[in-house]
Every structure is written in structure tokens, then in C-alpha cells.
Amino acid sequence: MKLDTSSIAIALIALAGSLFAEEPKVIVMEEPGSRWSVSAGLSVRSIQAGFSLGTGSQAILNWANTFEGRSGRGDAGLYQGGAAPVVYDNGFVGGENLAFAGFGAEGQVNSASQIFALAAGANANGNLARTLAFDTVGYAYPDARGINLTDSEIAVGPSLDLAYHLGDYTGTRYQLLTGWSYVTSDHTTGSQRIVTVTEERTDYSYVYDYVANPNFPLDIPGPVNGGDEFIVFDPDGVPAFFGTGLHAPRSEAETDSATRFYAVGQSDLNVRLNELPFGLDASRRLGPLAFSARAGITLNVIDYDLTSSLAWYEQGISSPALTQRWRDSGTHFKVGLFTGVAAKLPLTADERFFVETSGSYRWVDPVHSSAGIADVEIDPSSWEGRIGLGFVLD
């Protein structure tokens, strides 16, 4: 049998054509209406505001600008010899009494309440001996200020999605996405005590032994400066004639604290976020549902109004001595990113009307603002959920 070479060639060409015909290719859906579709619905997301009250406003929070603190001598110390006296609130000790140089001092005792019996264990050896007490007071105002608070609010607002159908490729539908959403949120710290000025009062007491000639009336209260009396500052140097067991000067301190002044601050913030997404959506059908993954960028317009106030109070007085208020507002433009998933369910046989839901994470760089005592970081980054009704445009 003779083979027809022309027939063989035609058969090979037909076979090759059938193989290449199986290659994947882009298929544009032939469906009624436009490639454009739109859906309207609600968007839900979280906006977080991190407040710092008073942590960076030291000049504003200086309580001494409003109130006057108390002052005192503080710890005056003990006299240990020399020409200079140590001065207390109710007298002084020093310099040295020349008649008793090396161990006895002059001084001044202001009241009889400072004079006590000689301390136990001392023997005045027939001399008139007493114990003298002196006092001073000191005040301190340790600083404790500033607090940090975070307030997250769920924001709900209108949302539009606009999609353009690019085509199908191996069973996957591709669309370009854009749209718009708007949410607003209100944040507050509430009234917060951000400064508490504690007044620490320290009472210092100083005790000295005193020796006088018993043949004369007691010269104190009053000056101690004659040749018949002295205040002991070095008991080891006192001759036995004046008595033994006399004590060295000693001191002690006792501290009490109480709130003296405080400041109450508050900050309130309103945030308005307009977001425009631009991205790509890839979906596949699973029964009547179309599931998709999507990602892209967002353009964000963040408007805010920030207010803060500070009221100073003196402990025990209900009305503030001073109230201050501040405000700041602004608009920031930020580029962000988003990624997420969506599901679409047709509502009509021709699939022209549908319901759509999606979930995504929106990342946006935080915005910072300050007003008076308040510094705030506005962070719009969060998970976002959306549900909407849509249709294919004619």
C-alpha cells in the first residue's frame, strides 16, 4: 500500500493544533452589563489613642508657679566646737565658753519647755545639771508626676467598594479594587490626678547636757555665756570636778508626710479617618460563593482635634486655684497597606446583585500630637471588617 505523504503532513499539523489548543489563556467573561461593580455598606475597625499626661510638660507642672511651699532650717547639725554657733529654731549652741574651753559652749535657750532633768547615768557631782533640747523643722516636696493611658475605640462608618473586572485566568478572576470608607472615634482620659505634691515635714531634735554652779540661780531660759555655766559638747574633756557620765550631744529626726497640693488633668481626642484603598483582588468560585484574597495600598486622611486641661488644687479646698486649657488640631496624609480576604454571594440568578463581606488588616503609620500637658499617639492600624450590598453596573 502506497502512503500519501501529503495526507500524513496534514494529519501531523492537525495533531499539533489540537495540542496547542489546550494551552491556558486569558478568558474575558462574557456577562451582561459592565465590568464595573460597586457595593455600599459598613466598615468596622479600631482606632487606638495612647495618651501621656504630664510626662513631658515639666514647666507647666511646676506647682511652685501657683503655690508657695514652706521652708525651714532643716537639719542644723550638732555643735562640735569652734567660734561659729549652730543656730536652731529655739536657740543656739556655740561658740566655745572661754572659761570652759575644749568642752563647754555658750548658747541661748529660749523657753523653759526646753529644759529637762539630767539624762540617766550622769553624775553632776553636786553641780546643777540639766538636759537641754533644741529643735528645727525641714520641709521637702518630692516630685511624682505623669501617667500614661491607652484608649481604644471601635469605629463604625460608611464604606464603598468599586471593582473593575480584568479577566479570568485558569479559573481565577482578577479585579482591580478601589473605594472609600469613613470612620470617626472619640477618646478621653477622663479626669486624672497627674501630680501629687507630698509635703514631707521632718522634725529634728538636738539634746545637750548642761552644767551650772549650784550656788547661783538657774540662768536659763536665757543666754548661756557666763563663767558659772556651760553646755557640754565634748564630755570626754569635762574634768571630774564637774561630774561624770555626762553625754555627748545627740540628735534624732522624725518625718511625717501629707498631700499638700495636687493637679487634675484631662485630655479628649476626636479622630476622623478617610481611607481610599487601591489593590488587586483574586477570587475563585466554590459553589455559589466566590472567595478571594486581596492586597494593596491605602491613602489615609487623618483629621483630629485634641484638647487638654489642668486644674491645681490645695488639699482640703474644693475649688481650683488655677485652671488652664489647651487645644491642637491638624490633618495628616498617610500611605498605608492592607491585606485580607473576602466572600461574595450572588442574590439573583444573573449574579447582577450580590452581598459581600470582607476582613483585612490595615496598617497606617501613627500620628502624633500635643496640647499643653497631653502628648498623644493616634494609631489607626487595626483589623477591619466590612459588609455591603452591591450590583454590577449597566
Cα(276)–Cα(180) distance, integer angstroms: 5
Same structural domain, 133 and 248 = yes
Cα(50)–Cα(26) distance, integer angstroms: 49
Same structural domain, 273 and 370 = yes
Under the banding of pLDDT at 50, 70 and 90, the label for residue 26 is very low
Which cell goes with 252? 534624732
Boundary (domain end) residue, out of 259, 280, 301: 259
- Say what the pLDDT of residue 145 is: 74
**What is the domain-level CATH number for residue 280?**
2.40.160.20
Same structural domain, 177 and 93 = no
**Cα separation values, 212 from 86, 112, 215, 216, 227, Å:** 21, 16, 9, 8, 9
Tens of pLDDT, residue by residue over 57-70, are 667 888 888 888 89
**Per-residue pLDDT averaged across 254-273, rounded?**
94
Surface-to-core class of residue 189, CB atoms within 10 Å of its CB (0-12 exposed, 13-18 middle, 19+ buried): buried
Q: Please state the domain count of the chain.
A: 2
Cα(225)–Cα(98) distance, integer angstroms: 9
Q: Which of 68, 88, 69, 89 is nearest to 78 (CA)?
A: 88
Residue 5 located in a structural domain: no
Q: Is 82 left (phi over 0), alpha (psi -120 to 50) or beta?
A: left
pTM of the model: 0.72
Boundary (domain end) residue, out of 233, 259, 285: 259
Cα(100)–Cα(313) distance, integer angstroms: 55
* Contact in structure between 294 and 342 (CB atoms under 8 Å): yes
* Contact in structure between 55 and 143 (CB atoms under 8 Å): no
Tens of pLDDT, residue by residue over 180-195, are 999 999 999 999 998 8
Phi and psi, residue 78, nearest 5° = -105, 145
Range of the domain at 364: 25-62+149-198+261-392
Q: Which helix (H) or strand (E) holds 48?
A: strand 36-53
Same structural domain, 331 and 287 = yes
Same structural domain, 299 and 359 = yes
- Say what the pLDDT of residue 219 is: 85
> What share of the chain in percent tops pLDDT 90?
74
Phi and psi, residue 218, nearest 5° = -65, 120
